[in-house]
């Protein structure tokens, strides 16, 4: 297998920015249409009343919060993975990092919309912000929702920086390969990058700091999301395991999202030379680890509940295990555990296709996991007289679909304006300290599992 | 904002933020308005009387200002009115003692109902189309007067028929007087869940043709045969008040309570012991208990006096009612019969209650007499913790109207005669009754009314009966006019609940008593009713009553909404003159049921709905949305089926089924209920209106449509619990059974 | 400072529903209609729970009125991001409708499911709106609402007592549900005052709190229904 040279890297990776086919516009229109549909759905919910949703007494949280947790979870794809790999200096990460970081940013943006979509009076959402009001009214700092507000904002800011910093040299590359108005735009974006050793040094230091800083933020953000549940005295919510369980689940779904995104980019942008089976295999192994970890957490959570045998917990427990939610529950177990274990655990299946199939399974499974955390508990909370059920309505389904379309749309547009693979990181030779980043070779295969 | 104030604000908010992060600061931040600056609106409280059922509970009405869209003298506009805001039980009222039931609370929605008839209407379309034109009161009254004059001209005054509801009041007395003076028969009152059998039995047993009052508060043991006395029967609020005292109102003493019925009612739910027996055999159980009491020797048979003498074999100690015989007839184990008898004799004072379904069988009078005899045996009549008969003000005597009392005709016989080609009324006045809805279709009341040439309704709403009317003269609501009732029961002393209007009328309506008085004056031959207005009649009636304050009984009533006290001699309704013992003592006869037991395997029990009674309250949205106490159903109707039966029929909760009797079919939804016998299905009355405002029309099903025209053999009263039905599953749940509750059981249902 | 509380004597409660409608009448709770009720949007600040026990013929039915328990350690309060749900000095869980943004977090945290959400702007078919109580604010779409112990009555009585320079007497304040109850199953008053009827009943050996193990420290005591042996 040959490795592309510097010139070719630039040509291949800048090409998607310059060449736009009709297919691109069709896809944009398609995804755009879904996004518009979602917007219409949301506006009608605001206009006609929240009752258009399927939310009811006592299931006051439904699809929207599921989506919120899901997208925040997906956002753990990038930054965390890329930061860790950066810190351990894994060379194979280089074509993957930007894909991943972009997912983080967009998933966070989408996830952060859901509290707005979800609340009853979104026009007053600014009351969550601690702004100096003349009436001295502050948000309630004891509320996990306010913690969410800070955690997500911090994470978003960090992720944006983490995404933008390494883009500067690439903007410079694009600036140098384009002309006209494009060149002017990228000149601004490149912030006067000249590639001097001093600039490289500063970039390197900044990236190092960001990589270290972003990891605790990422861990904390999903822990805090889990606090939304574990801080409320709801059966099967109030459990100490939720923090790590949510973080593990988030990384799990994040990797799955990343694998899917990479496979799509590889196919559409013809990046076969850059995103190679090795990358998929390595990510697949990571995902396998996470699948086992996830399985451990779920087993732990369920077993402890079962032995605790609290009557209120057991009502929820049996609801998911055996009764009305059992089909969804066992689908989740298959998607999140059985499928990854087979496809990623057996070497023969750990191909790009295998990884992608497993990833789709995990994305579905992790979405279901969040749904199954939220809805069965709320529907069977303590006093049986007040138990209830939940069926999503059209607006909720539309908005959910629209957010997936929004993810695709944002990603396509992003890949259109930014080289989706970090050019400078690939060009190990142009780096001032190439020794820091050795070229990607077979040696960097993760572990040596022969299953 | 200048720089200085900006800095100040920043400093202040910064401190605020610092404070907010510790302690419980929200009180300081949220409540910027000091308590003393919150001034609740200024309310006036006025007395009122609840008119939704005959219990005659006293109200305290909260009145405050409100801006109403009203039409006055043809001009529409927004006017500030004194509007009733909330109805509460009058604290010192001798019947309800401050309590008020759900229906009473909702009574205020009658006044403000969006579908109230706001002015006189004359029919323009076919009968039943609901097409009406507005007419003026003058034209409307002239039209009635010409109709009545025509009757008089033809010498046919007897063909005026007045349909009304059951209930004693001055208004009823006025109507009666109006009719007598005109030469028409007395008003015809019909109520599906009526108590005529019990009144008749009480007349025979105790010489009082009225419903009894129970001194539950002092009872140690209450044995109720089918009476939903905590829900809908007799004087429910008074009985709730007394029940609360019976249970926990006496230090260290708690009265016990057993309920005999085969479908658990809201009342049965509160019982310590719930005793299902075969339908129509409650009287047997009562006599079985009496037999055991007498056999111990503690209660000699002659203690029951006249009430006992009415029962065959009483003097001999009821030899045919040994526990084994009772077990054979009622299905209740002999040991439980003995247990009930032991409690009934040990816990003194004990009292038995009977009402509702047990009396709605072909042997209803026997059952009532049997329970009366049991009460008489233990000396319950007139003793603390026993039964009383509230002294009744004799309005006719009080106002010296001097019209002779005529026996009323039953609706059924009137209809049967009319349809058979006999005498049929020329003019029908409908006042508060809706027999087209509440009478069994087999009686063909609608058909009978359709052949009446002229129908006048005084109703507030278009319902199944008033939509047949040619002229509608809407009455004031009870908040807009003099409201009064003479409670038949619920207190030991005589009571007259009387209250002046609480607010001005919202619409172009007129009080029906005043309309009748005016019509009486306008007739070609005036009726010479001695009162100008209804309150003059009230004044005349109360004039002879003692006044606590000395300013007159009516003035007292104006203040308190009630007069209560000793009735002077001559003003009380006398005991029934019928003191001769029944020539032939009654014996148990097996209840007869309509429908073949093979073809129609289930007994059918319609019951008075906690929310709507017989359906007259189905138009009130609060009651529609109130969860039913037992099923938690809202805005729905349903049929209750035992779980074992349901499983055998392949029916699960919520399924759509057809309930079919020999007289009709209704398609409704299933509530699987553990509190009902396997051979019984029950349906609440109240829903299934075709025409009754936006909230009730087209909603649910009316169980009365299934009823056979069975009657109690002795009194001719409708035996509404004597129909048999079959149940067939039609399909899966269709979403029209709306339940508030998620689960039937508190523990472990999910895992059963 | 009084601490308001309630005692519910289940031995007196007959499940009649008078309190349920009284609450609607007093607190401007809109009816939602059949379609909304069918999807679980009915608002009953006070509900009478009923539970079946056993099977025919040995079957029993228990009633239990459940309203906001006005917990001392209310789980709904800390989770509200805007202080719409907060604790007052006299022990009430106040809900400031105007400050509510509708996260519905409080409803999830409430172990009793005593909180209800306005899914649409409430409406009254004219002229039913003439009945509305001017002392109770109307809630718009998107806010949570719940039993307030009829705080408007508590404040009115407090103002009246202050004007007359006296303390509020025991039994002077009756929430609408307490007022309507014929069987006197509901008793309201000041738990701080040891001689008030509600304190006396709350100390009864029959008394217990609902879902005590959640640690919410409710202010409502349920007095168990006795069984005759």
ipTM of the complex: 0.97
Whether B594 shows a pLDDT value over 60: the answer reads yes
- State whether residue C51 sits within 8 Å of chain B by CB: yes
Q: Between vectors from CA C227 to CA C224 and to CA C229, what angle results, nearest 5°? A: 150
Collect all residues with Cβ–Cβ distance below 8 Å to B404 and sequence separation of at least 6. Answer: B180
Choose among C36, C102, C112: nearest Cβ to A383.
C112
Residues B647 and B708 reside in one and the same domain: yes
Integer angstrom CA distances of residue A165 from A98, A160, A207, C119, C135: 11, 8, 7, 45, 58
Alpha-carbon gap, residue B746 to A387, rounded angstroms: 11
- In percent, the amount of chain A with pLDDT more than 90 equals 64
Query: What is the rounded average pLDDT of the residues A213-241?
Result: 93
Would you state the pLDDT for residue B574? 80
Alpha-carbon gap, residue B170 to B537, rounded angstroms: 8
Choose among C49, C128, C156: nearest Cβ to B114.
C128
Give chain B's length: 752
Interchain pair C78, A56: CB under 8 A: no
Report pLDDT digits (tens) over B533-582.
Answer: 999 999 999 988 988 888 888 888 888 999 999 998 888 888 765 555 55
Number of helical (H) and strand (E) elements in chain B, helices listed first: 24, 27
In the 3-class helix/strand/coil scheme, how is chain A assigned residue by residue? CCCCCHHHHHHHHHHHHHCCCHHHHHHHHHHHHHHHHHHHHHHHHHHHCHHHCCCCCCCCCCHHHHHHHHHHHHCCCHHHHHHHHHHCCCHHHCCCHHHHHHHHHHHHHHHHHHHHHHCCCHHHHHHHCCCCCCCCCCCCCCCHHHHHHHHHHHHHHHHHHHHHCCHHHHHHHHHHHCCHHHHHHHHHHCCCCCCCHHHHHHHHHHHHHHHHHHHHHHHHHHHHHHHHHHCCCCCCCCCCCHHHHHHHHHHHHHHHHHHHHHHHHHHHCCCCCCCCHHHHHHHHHHHHHHHHHHHHHHHHHHHHHHHHCCHHHHHHHHHHHCCCCHHHHHHHHHHHHHHHHHHHHCHHHCCHHHHHHHHHHHHHHHHHHHHHHHHHHHHCCCCHHHCCCCCCCHHHHHHHHHHHHHHHHHHHHHHHHCCCCCHHHHCHHHCCCHHHCCCCCHHHCCCCCCC
Interchain pair A138, B632: CB under 8 A: no
Poorest-confidence range of B261-275, B291-305, B404-418?
B404-418
Interchain pair A315, B741: CB under 8 A: no
Residues B468 and B360 reside in one and the same domain: no
Structure confidence at residue C94 as a pLDDT band (50, 70, 90): very high
Chains A and B form CB pairs within 8 A to the count of 54
Residues of chain B neighbouring C128 (CB-CB closer than 8 A): 109, 112-114, 621
Residues B37 and B76 reside in one and the same domain: yes
Per the domain annotation, does B580 fall within a domain?
Answer: no
Residues of chain A neighbouring C214 (CB-CB closer than 8 A): 233, 382
Closest by CA position to C15, among listed B611, B46, B273: B611
Interchain pair C118, A125: CB under 8 A: no
DSSP state of B608: -
Whether A176 shows a pLDDT value over 70: the answer reads yes
Measured in angstroms, the CA of A352 and the nearest CA of chain B are apart by 44
Interchain pair B751, A133: CB under 8 A: no
Contact between C227 and B257 (Cβ < 8 Å): no
Residues B101 and B234 reside in one and the same domain: no
Task: State the average pLDDT for chain B.
Answer: 90
Residues B358 and B471 reside in one and the same domain: no
Closest by CA position to A279, among listed A294, A258, A248: A258
Q: Which chains touch C (3 or more CB pairs under 8 A)?
A: A, B
Whether A80 shows a pLDDT value over 90: the answer reads no
- Answer with the one of B388, B406, B435 that is the final residue of a domain: B388
Quote the domain boundaries for residue B79: 3-112
Would you state the pLDDT for residue B34? 52
| Three-class DSSP category at B1 | coil
Would you state the pLDDT for residue B19? 46
Interchain pair B627, C17: CB under 8 A: yes
Residues B345 and B225 reside in one and the same domain: yes
- Answer with the one of B54, B79, B112 that is the final residue of a domain: B112
Per the domain annotation, does B572 fall within a domain?
Answer: no
CB contacts under 8 A, C 72-111 vs B, are: 83, 86-89, 94, 96, 99
Interchain pair A132, B13: CB under 8 A: yes
Would you state the pLDDT for residue B264? 96
Residues B58 and B21 reside in one and the same domain: yes
Measured in angstroms, the CA of C84 and the nearest CA of chain B are apart by 8
- State whether residue A51 sits within 8 Å of chain C by CB: yes
Alpha-carbon gap, residue B401 to B174, rounded angstroms: 9
Alpha-carbon gap, residue C131 to B64, rounded angstroms: 9
Look up residue A250 and give its two tokens.
């988030």
Beta strands B256-260 and B221-225, pairing class: parallel
Greater pLDDT, A416 or A450? A416
Per the domain annotation, does B574 fall within a domain?
Answer: no
Total of domains in chain B: 4
Beta strands B160-164 and B188-189, pairing class: parallel
Contact between B507 and B474 (Cβ < 8 Å): yes
Contact between C19 and C180 (Cβ < 8 Å): yes
Whether B748 shows a pLDDT value over 90: the answer reads no
Would you state the pLDDT for residue A1? 41
CA closest to C162 among chain B residues? B36
Name the region of C165 (left: φ>0; alpha: ψ -120 to 50; beta: rest).
left
Structure confidence at residue A432 as a pLDDT band (50, 70, 90): very low
Choose among C116, C143, C210: nearest Cβ to A57.
C116
Contact between B226 and B282 (Cβ < 8 Å): yes
- State whether residue A392 sits within 8 Å of chain C by CB: no
Report pLDDT digits (tens) over B215-255.
Answer: 999 999 999 999 999 999 999 999 999 999 999 999 889 99
Residues B472 and B375 reside in one and the same domain: no
- State whether residue B741 sits within 8 Å of chain A by CB: yes
Alpha-carbon gap, residue A81 to A258, rounded angstroms: 10
Collect all residues with Cβ–Cβ distance below 8 Å to B376 and sequence separation of at least 6. Answer: B205, B206, B303, B304, B305, B306, B307, B308
- Answer with the one of B91, B112, B133 that is the final residue of a domain: B112
Residue C74 CA, chain-centre distance (Å), reads 14
- State whether residue A120 sits within 8 Å of chain C by CB: yes
Interchain pair C183, B244: CB under 8 A: yes
| Three-class DSSP category at C36 | helix
Integer angstrom CA distances of residue C9 from A57, C49, C129, C178: 27, 14, 34, 11
DSSP state of B409: P
Query: C4-223: which CATH number, 3.30.70.20, 3.40.630.30, 3.40.50.880, 3.90.650.10?
Result: 3.30.70.20
Interchain pair B743, A138: CB under 8 A: no
Contact between B458 and B515 (Cβ < 8 Å): yes
Contact between A389 and A59 (Cβ < 8 Å): yes
Residues B468 and B547 reside in one and the same domain: yes
Interchain pair C75, A56: CB under 8 A: no
Alpha-carbon gap, residue C22 to B672, rounded angstroms: 29
Contact between B395 and B486 (Cβ < 8 Å): yes
CB atoms within 10 A of CB A444: 16
Poorest-confidence range of A447-451, B69-73, C70-74?
A447-451
Interchain pair A381, C142: CB under 8 A: no
Beta strands B723-731 and B656-661, pairing class: antiparallel
Interchain pair A57, C42: CB under 8 A: yes
Poorest-confidence range of A3-7, B321-325, B679-683?
A3-7
Alpha-carbon gap, residue B613 to B103, rounded angstroms: 9
Measured in angstroms, the CA of B275 and the nearest CA of chain A are apart by 26
Would you state the pLDDT for residue A19? 81
Structure confidence at residue B138 as a pLDDT band (50, 70, 90): very high
Collect all residues with Cβ–Cβ distance below 8 Å to C163 and sequence separation of at least 6. Answer: none
Domains in chain A, please, with CATH?
6-130+140-446 (1.20.1630.10)
Look up residue A67 and give its two tokens.
């989506």
Collect all residues with Cβ–Cβ distance below 8 Å to A102 and sequence separation of at least 6. Answer: A78, A163, A411, A414, A418, A420
Greater pLDDT, A410 or B38? A410
DSSP state of C99: G
Closest by CA position to A167, among listed A440, A429, A417: A417
Q: How many CA atoms lie within 13 A of B112 on its CB side?
A: 25
| Three-class DSSP category at C76 | helix
Enumerate the β-bridge partners of residue B638. Answer: B669
Structure confidence at residue A362 as a pLDDT band (50, 70, 90): very high
Per the domain annotation, does B595 fall within a domain?
Answer: no
Would you state the pLDDT for residue B8? 56
Task: State the average pLDDT for chain A.
Answer: 88
Closest by CA position to B458, among listed B536, B521, B508, B510: B510
Task: Out of A163-167, B309-313, B665-669, B710-714, give the one with best mean pLDDT.
Answer: B665-669
Helix (H) / strand (E) element for C68: namely none
CA closest to B746 among chain A residues? A384
Domain boundaries, chain C: 4-223
DSSP state of B114: T
Poorest-confidence range of A11-20, A97-106, A198-207, B709-718?
A11-20
Interchain pair B13, A387: CB under 8 A: no
Whether B700 shows a pLDDT value over 90: the answer reads yes
Look up residue A350 and give its two tokens.
């750990």
Per the domain annotation, does B540 fall within a domain?
Answer: yes
Interchain pair A60, C117: CB under 8 A: yes
Would you state the pLDDT for residue B744? 86
Interchain pair B17, A315: CB under 8 A: no
- State whether residue A58 sits within 8 Å of chain C by CB: yes
Structure confidence at residue A437 as a pLDDT band (50, 70, 90): very low
Would you state the pLDDT for residue A448? 44
Mutate to test the interface with B, among A132, A146, A306, A391 (most CBs of B within 10 A): A132
Residues B513 and B607 reside in one and the same domain: no
- The C-alpha R_g of chain A, in whole angstroms, comes to 23
Would you state the pLDDT for residue A447? 46
Choose among B81, B625, B629: nearest Cβ to C16.
B629
The torsion defined by the Cα of B463, B469, B470 and B474, in degrees rounded to 10, comes to -60
Poorest-confidence range of A75-79, B127-131, C215-219?
A75-79
Query: What is the rounded average pLDDT of the residues A216-236?
Result: 93
Look up residue B366 and give its two tokens.
């026997």
Residues of chain B neighbouring A134 (CB-CB closer than 8 A): 9
- State whether residue B9 sits within 8 Å of chain A by CB: yes
Residues B31 and B106 reside in one and the same domain: yes
Alpha-carbon gap, residue B261 to B580, rounded angstroms: 32
- State whether residue B406 sits within 8 Å of chain A by CB: no
Query: What is the rounded average pLDDT of the residues A346-353?
Result: 91
Interchain pair B40, C152: CB under 8 A: yes
| Three-class DSSP category at B728 | strand
The torsion defined by the Cα of B152, B157, B161 and B167, in degrees rounded to 10, comes to 110
Query: What is the rounded average pLDDT of the residues B203-217?
Result: 94
Mutate to test the interface with B, among C23, C56, C154 (most CBs of B within 10 A): C56
Residues of chain A neighbouring C121 (CB-CB closer than 8 A): 49
Closest by CA position to B586, among listed B372, B388, B379, B375: B372
Beta strands B221-225 and B350-354, pairing class: parallel
Task: State the average pLDDT for chain C.
Answer: 94
Interchain pair A54, C141: CB under 8 A: no
Alpha-carbon gap, residue A51 to B572, rounded angstroms: 59
Choose among C75, C83, C101: nearest Cβ to A232.
C75
Q: For the purposes of burial, counting CB atoms within 10 Å of the CB of B525, is it exposed (0-12), middle (13-18) or buried (19 or more)?
A: middle
Alpha-carbon gap, residue B8 to B20, rounded angstroms: 18
- In percent, the amount of chain A with pLDDT more than 70 equals 93
CATH of the domain at B291: 3.40.228.10
């Amino acid at each position: 297998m040959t490795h592309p040279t510097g010139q070719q890297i630039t040509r291949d990776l800048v090409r998607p920015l310059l060449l736009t086919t009709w297919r691109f516009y069709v896809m944009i229109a398609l995804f755009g249409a879904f996004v518009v549909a979602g917007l219409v759905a949301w506006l009608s919910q605001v206009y006609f009343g929240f009752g258009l949703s399927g939310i009811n007494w006592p299931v006051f949280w439904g699809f929207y919060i599921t989506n919120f947790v899901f997208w925040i979870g997906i956002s753990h794809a990038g930054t965390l993975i890329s930061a860790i790999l950066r810190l351990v200096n894994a060379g194979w990460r280089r074509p993957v990092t930007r894909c991943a970081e972009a997912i983080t940013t967009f998933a966070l943006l989408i996830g952060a919309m859901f509290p707005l979509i979800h609340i009853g009076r979104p026009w007053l959402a600014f009351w969550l912000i601690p702004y100096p009001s003349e009436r001295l009214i502050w948000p309630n700092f004891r509320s996990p929702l306010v913690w969410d507000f800070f955690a997500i904002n911090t994470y978003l800011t960090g992720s944006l920086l983490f995404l933008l910093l390494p883009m500067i040299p690439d903007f410079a590359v694009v600036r140098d390969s384009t002309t006209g108005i494009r060149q002017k735009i990228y000149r601004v974006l490149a912030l006067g990058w000249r590639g001097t050793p001093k600039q490289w040094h500063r970039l390197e230091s900044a990236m190092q700091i960001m990589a270290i800083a972003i990891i605790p933020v990422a861990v904390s953000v999903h822990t805090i999301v889990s606090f939304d549940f574990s801080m409320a005295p709801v059966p099967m919510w109030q459990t100490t395991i939720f923090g790590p369980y949510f973080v593990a689940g988030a990384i799990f779904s994040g990797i799955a999202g990343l694998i899917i995104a990479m496979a799509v980019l590889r196919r559409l942008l013809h990046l076969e030379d850059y995103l190679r089976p090795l990358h998929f295999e390595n990510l697949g192994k990571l995902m396998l680890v996470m699948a086992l970890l996830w399985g451990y957490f779920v087993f732990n959570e369920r077993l402890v509940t079962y032995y605790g045998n609290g009557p209120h917990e057991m009502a929820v427990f049996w609801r998911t295990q055996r009764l009305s939610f059992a089909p969804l529950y066992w689908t989740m177990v298959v998607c999140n555990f059985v499928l990854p274990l087979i496809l990623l655990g057996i070497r023969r299946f750990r191909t790009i296709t295998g990884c992608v199939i497993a990833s789709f399974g995990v994305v579905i499974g992790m979405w279901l996991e969040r749904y199954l955390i939220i809805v069965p508990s709320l529907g069977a909370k303590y006093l049986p007289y007040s138990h209830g059920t939940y069926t999503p309505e059209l607006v909720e389904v539309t908005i959910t679909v629209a957010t997936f379309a929004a993810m695709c749309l944002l990603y396509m547009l992003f890949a259109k304006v930014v080289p989706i693979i970090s050019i400078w990181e690939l060009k190990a030779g142009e780096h001032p300290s190439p020794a820091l980043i050795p070229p990607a070779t077979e040696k960097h295969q993760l572990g040596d599992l022969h299953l | 904002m200048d720089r200085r104030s900006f800095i100040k604000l920043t400093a202040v908010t910064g401190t605020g933020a610092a404070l907010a992060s510790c302690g419980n600061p929200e009180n300081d931040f949220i409540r910027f308005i000091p308590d003393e600056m919150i001034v609740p609106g200024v309310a006036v409280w006025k007395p009122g009387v609840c008119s939704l059922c005959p219990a005659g509970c006293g109200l305290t009405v909260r009145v405050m200002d409100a801006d109403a869209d009203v039409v006055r003298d043809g001009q529409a506009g927004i006017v500030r009115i004194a509007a009733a805001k909330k109805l509460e039980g009058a604290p010192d009222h001798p019947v309800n003692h401050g309590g008020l039931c759900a229906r009473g609370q909702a009574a205020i929605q009658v006044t403000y109902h969006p579908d109230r008839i706001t002015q006189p209407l004359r029919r323009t379309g076919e009968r039943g189309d609901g097409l009406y034109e507005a007419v003026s009161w003058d034209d409307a009254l002239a039209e009635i007067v010409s109709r009545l004059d025509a009757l008089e001209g033809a010498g046919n005054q007897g063909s005026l028929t007045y349909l009304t509801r059951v209930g004693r009041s001055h208004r009823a007395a006025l109507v009666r007087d109006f009719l007598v003076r005109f030469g028409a028969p007395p008003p015809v009152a019909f109520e599906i869940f009526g108590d005529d059998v019990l009144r008749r039995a009480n007349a025979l047993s105790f010489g009082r043709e009225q419903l009894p009052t129970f001194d539950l508060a002092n009872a140690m043991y209450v044995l109720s045969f089918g009476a939903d006395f905590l829900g809908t029967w007799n004087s429910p609020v008074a009985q709730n008040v007394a029940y609360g005292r019976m249970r926990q109102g006496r230090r260290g003493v708690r009265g016990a309570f057993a309920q005999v019925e085969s479908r658990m009612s809201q009342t049965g739910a509160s019982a310590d012991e719930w005793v299902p027996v075969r339908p129509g055999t409650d009287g047997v159980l009562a006599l079985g208990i009496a037999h055991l009491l007498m056999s111990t020797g503690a209660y000699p048979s002659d203690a029951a006096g006249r009430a006992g003498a009415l029962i065959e074999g009483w003097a001999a100690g009821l030899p045919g009612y040994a526990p084994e015989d009772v077990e054979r007839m009622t299905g209740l184990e002999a040991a439980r019969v003995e247990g009930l008898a032991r409690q009934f004799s040990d816990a003194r004072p004990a009292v038995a209650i009977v009402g509702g379904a047990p009396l709605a069988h072909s042997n209803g009078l026997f059952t009532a007499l049997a329970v009366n005899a049991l009460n008489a045996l233990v000396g319950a009549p007139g003793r603390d913790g026993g039964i009383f008969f509230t002294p009744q003000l004799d309005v006719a005597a009080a106002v010296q109207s001097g019209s002779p009392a005529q026996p009323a005709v039953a609706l059924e016989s009137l209809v049967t005669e009319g349809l058979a080609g006999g005498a049929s009324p020329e003019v029908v006045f409908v006042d508060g009754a809706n027999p087209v809805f509440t009478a069994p279709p087999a009686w063909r009341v609608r058909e009978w009314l359709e052949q009446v040439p002229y129908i006048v309704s005084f109703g507030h709403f278009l319902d199944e009966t008033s939509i047949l009317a040619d002229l509608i003269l809407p009455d004031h609501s009870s908040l807009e006019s003099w409201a009064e009732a003479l409670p038949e029961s619920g207190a030991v002393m005589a009571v007259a609940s009387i209250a002046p209007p609480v607010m001005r009328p919202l619409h172009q309506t007129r009080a029906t008593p005043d309309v009748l008085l005016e019509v009486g004056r306008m007739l070609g031959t005036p009726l010479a009713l001695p009162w100008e207005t209804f309150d003059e009649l009230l004044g005349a009636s109360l004039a002879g009553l003692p006044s606590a304050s000395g300013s007159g009984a009516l003035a007292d009533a104006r203040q308190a909404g009630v007069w209560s006290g000793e009735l002077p001699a001559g003003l009380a309704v006398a005991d029934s003159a019928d003191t001769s013992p029944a020539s032939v003592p009654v014996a148990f006869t097996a209840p007869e049921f309509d429908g073949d037991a093979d073809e129609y395997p289930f007994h059918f029990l319609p019951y008075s709905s906690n929310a709507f009674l017989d359906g007259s309250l189905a138009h009130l949205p609060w009651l529609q949305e109130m969860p039913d106490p037992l099923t938690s159903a809202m805005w729905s109707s349903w049929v209750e089926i035992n779980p074992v039966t349901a499983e055998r029929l392949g029916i699960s909760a919520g399924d759509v089924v057809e309930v079919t009797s020999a007289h009709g079919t209704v398609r409704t939804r299933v509530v699987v209920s553990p509190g009902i016998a396997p051979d019984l299905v029950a349906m609440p009355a109240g829903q299934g209106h075709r025409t009754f405002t936006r909230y009730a029309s087209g909603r649910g099903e009316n169980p009365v449509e299934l009823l056979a025209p069975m009657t109690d053999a002795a009194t001719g009263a409708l035996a509404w619990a004597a129909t048999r039905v079959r149940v067939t599953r039609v399909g899966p749940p269709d979403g029209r059974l709306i339940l508030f509750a998620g689960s039937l059981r508190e523990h472990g249902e999910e895992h059963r | 400072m009084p601490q308001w509380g309630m005692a519910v004597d289940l031995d007196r409660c007959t499940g009649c529903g008078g309190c349920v409608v009284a609450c609607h009448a007093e607190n401007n709770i809109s009816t939602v209609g059949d379609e909304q009720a069918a999807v679980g949007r009915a608002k009953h600040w006070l509900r009478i729970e009923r539970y079946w026990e056993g099977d025919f013929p040995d079957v029993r039915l228990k009633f239990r009125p459940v309203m906001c328990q006005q917990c001392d350690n209310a789980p709904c309060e800390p989770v509200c991001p805007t202080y719409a749900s907060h604790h007052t000095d006299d022990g009430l869980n106040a809900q400031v409708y105007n400050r509510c943004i509708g996260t519905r977090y409080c409803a999830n945290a409430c172990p009793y499911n005593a909180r209800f959400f306005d899914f649409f702007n409430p409406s009254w078919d004219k002229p039913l709106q003439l009945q509305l109580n001017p002392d109770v604010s109307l809630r718009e779409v998107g806010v949570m609402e719940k039993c307030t112990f009829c705080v408007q009555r508590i404040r009115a009585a407090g103002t009246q007592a202050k004007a007359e320079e006296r303390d509020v007497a025991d039994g002077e304040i009756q929430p609408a549900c307490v007022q309507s109850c014929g069987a006197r199953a509901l008793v309201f008053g000041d738990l701080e005052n040891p001689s008030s009827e509600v304190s006396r009943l709350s100390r009864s050996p029959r008394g217990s709190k609902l879902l005590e193990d959640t640690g919410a420290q409710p202010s409502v005591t349920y007095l168990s229904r006795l069984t005759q042996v």
